[in-house]
Structure 1
Amino acid sequence: MEGRSGPVVQDQVAETLSWLVNPGAADGWEERVPGVAVLGEGRSLAVPPASWRCGPSTRWLSPAHGDCLTDPGALYDALRHVLHPGRAGRA
């Protein structure tokens, strides 16, 4: 995903990574990619200040740049490849 990922928020306490995509772009991913949680309506994401790039809790693993969104197709393919290597590709 190099060059195609938008900013990534890392929560080191909860051991999660969060990418930003257009609203609705990740609908249904939880059923197709076990291990993925989609934050939709009624859920929230703690976003750290732009200067937080290190430290023991929430930080920017990849800081904001450009339009601040990740291409959902590229992210979906990458997550399936990493989380389920034998079933990579779009479903």
Structure 2
Amino acid sequence: MSGWGGNLSDVVITSAGLQVRRAVAVMDQAQGGCGPVAEDPENGWLYWLVPPGSADRWAPRSHAVCLGAPHMITLPSLNRTAPPGPYWCRPSASDRLVPLGPLRKAPEQFRPEPAPHAALAARLGVSH
């Protein structure tokens, strides 16, 4: 497992429910293959890796949270593409990240539940 945080990327966290699979498909179309997205089955979340500094430009959303430094999450090794444990549902391809513009719209359109806000507030002490 490797860590995330700091200057490599920020992360948008959504539910990993069925509704968000449609958002992944939309991002696949927008990017010609979605940028890196890891699934954490234990928490029921998707971690969308977005450009560094995105958390500073992220307006509150009802179905997604964007975090940047100093927060840290644990990401799966790059070759892990299936459970058990966290895995890449869209593996990282070189230095490409998920673009923030289209990703802002997808969770609001598909409304993946449960929203991660309360669980993140309890775990990390953040409110977004």
Q: Provide TM-score, normalisation by structure 2.
A: 0.57
In the TM superposition, residue 78 of structure 1 has moved relative to its aligned partner by 1.1
Q: Which has the higher strand share?
A: 2
Segment drifting more, 11-20 vs 40-49: 40-49
Structure 1: unaligned runs, 5 residues or longer: 85-91
Find the aligned partners of 1:39 and 1:77 in 2 and give their Cα distance. Answer: 17
Q: Provide TM-score, normalisation by structure 1.
A: 0.77
Name the SS of the counterpart of 1:76 in structure 2.
helix
Q: Is the 8 A contact 1:6 1:20 kept in 2?
A: yes
Per-residue CA deviations over 1:20-75 (Å, capped at 9, x if unaligned) read 111222436462x1131222222112111111111221000111114230111011
Query: 2:87 is matched with which residue: 39, 42, 59?
Result: 59
Runs of 4 or more off by more than 4 Å in structure 1? Answer: none
* Structure 1 residues 63 and 56, CA gap change in structure 2 (3 angstroms): same
Tell me which residue corresponds to 2:43. Answer: 14
Q: Is the 8 A contact 2:54 2:68 kept in 1?
A: no
- What percentage of residue pairs aligned between the two structures are identical? 30
Q: Is the 8 A contact 1:19 1:70 kept in 2?
A: yes
Structure 2: unaligned runs, 5 residues or longer: 1-26, 113-128
What is the count of residue pairs matched by the alignment?
Answer: 83
Q: Is the 8 A contact 1:6 1:62 kept in 2?
A: yes
Q: How do 1:47-86 residues align onto structure 2 when only pairs under 5 Å count?
A: 47-83=75-111
